[in-house]
Amino acid sequence: MLTDEHVDGARAATSDFSDEFQDFITLHAWAASWARPVLDRRMRSALTLALLAALHNDHEIPMHVKAAIRHGLTPEEIREVFFHTAVYAGVPVANHAMATADAALRELGLATGRQ
């Protein structure tokens, strides 16, 4: 789901205290959940973005925007996820998520400011 670089970085950042929890995350959140057969990665990415926004997990949005692009979502589809999120989770939440996603898309060269 995420890049090998991200997983390697997460593993490298563990300590004796957190190592077992990182193994848990890798196995259950990144491997088992994302490998289930009914929903494809595009759908899971869209759901993840909406849930991250709704639950105020803003720090995770840039990483998942980049993953969503790798999984085939377009910037327009990502924007639409946050329009839909606004209805069910609130405009302020979606507005913040939209700005966070915009910054991530700009890093990828997929969004530009207005002239």
Residue-wise pLDDT tens digits, 39-72: 999 999 999 999 999 999 999 999 999 999 999 9
* Calpha distance 37→50 (Å, rounded): 20
**Residue 50 · residue 85 · CB < 8 Å:** yes
CATH of domain 39-115: 1.20.1290.10
**Which two three-digit tokens encode residue 15?**
């300590």
Q: Enter the pTM of the model.
A: 0.85
Place of tokens 């593993």: 11
User: What does the domain layout of the chain look like in residue ranges?
Assistant: 1-37, 39-115
Is the pLDDT confidence value at 111 over 90?
A: no
